[in-house]
Amino acid sequence: MGAQLIDGKAYAQAVRARVGLRVRELVAETGQIPGLAVVLVGHDPASEIYVRSKGKQAVEAGMASFEHRLPADTSAETLMALIHQLNEDSLVHGILVQLPLPDHIEARAVINAISPQKDVDGFHISNVGMVGTGQDAIVPCTPLGCMMMLRTLHDDFRGKTALVIGHSNVVGKPMTRLLLNADCTVMVAHKSSTNIPELARMADIVVAAAGVPGLVKSDWLKPGATVIDVGISRIPAPDLGPDKTRITGDVDVAARDIAGAITPVPGGVGPMTIACLLANTLSAYCHLLGLPDRPISLNLQDPT
C-alpha cells in the first residue's frame, strides 16, 4: 500500500499555532513579549532567506524579532561584543547566530559565547552536555522536530532499534542522544561506513542525515520501518529541462514502497526546524522569567 507520508508542514503548523496561543497567554499574564534575536554575518543568499523566514514566523507567533545583519568583514571581536550585548538584553530571550560564519570567525567560540539560557539553537557546550546526560536543556531544533514526529508514531521506544546515519553536531549526535534518552537501542553510521545496509535492515527507525542524495536504498530497509529523511540536496534534473534542478533527500524515493512511514523531501523535516526554533524560544522565555514550561504537543487532535 505504500508508506504513510509524515506531513511535516501540518505538524509545523500545529506547533506554531500552539506556540502562538501560549505566547498570547503569557504576554497577557506578564506584559513581557518573548524576543528572538538572529545575527547574520555576510550575505549568503540561502542564509538571508532563512533569516527572513525565522523573523516572519516569530512575529506571526506574537514574538519580537530582532535582526542584526553584519558585513562579511566583521571582526570576531565586534561579533562577540554584539553577543555580549544580547546576553544582557532583557528584551531578548533567544539568540541565534546564523551559520555558516565567514572563515575568519571561529563558529565554536561564537556559539559558546551565547548565554546557554538563550541558546535557542541548542549548540552551546552546556546544552549539548546536559542533553547528552539526559538533563533538561535546550535541544537542537532539527533533532527536536524529528523526535516530536517520531513520538506521534511510537508511544514507547523501549525495545525499538534505531539507526542514525550521520554524526554531525547539528543532527546526528544530538539525535542519537535523544533516542538513547528515550530508551531506544541506537546504532550510528555515517557516509563512510561500509555496513549501512546490514545495519538498516535491523532498524525499526532510520534517521538519515548524511547529506548524500539517495544514499539509503529501498532494499536496505526493514519492511514497515519508520524513516526520517533529514537530508536535503539540490541535484540536476535533466528530465525537467536544461539546467533544471530538483530537491531530494538522503533516502531513495522507492523506499516509500517498503517503509511503514516516511518523511517526504521537501515537506517533511524542514518545516519543523523553524517551528521548533519558536518552541525553543518560548521555553527559554519561560525559564528566564521563572514560568512553567509546558512541552508543545504534536498530537493534531490535541488542542493543547
List the catalytic residue out of 121, 204, 250, 252. Answer: 121
35, 94 in Cβ contact below 8 A?
A: yes
Largest Cα–Cα distance in the chain?
Answer: 57
List the catalytic residue out of 54, 118, 160, 173. Answer: 54
Task: Tell me the residue type at 183.
Answer: D
Task: Tell me the residue type at 295.
Answer: P
Cell of 256: 516509500
98 is catalytic: yes
d(CA 6, CA 65): 30
252 is catalytic: no
Cell of 204: 525499526
Instruction: Fill in the DSSP letter of residue 1.
Output: -
d(CA 264, CA 281): 26
How many other β-carbons are positioned within 10 Å of the β-carbon of residue 135? 10
d(CA 225, CA 217): 13
How many other β-carbons are positioned within 10 Å of the β-carbon of residue 78? 14
List the catalytic residue out of 57, 98, 173, 252. Answer: 98
293 is catalytic: no
Strands (E), 150-220: 161-165, 185-189, 205-208
CA nearest to 205, candidates 175, 181, 225, 232: 225
Task: Point out the residues that are catalytic.
Answer: 54, 98, 121
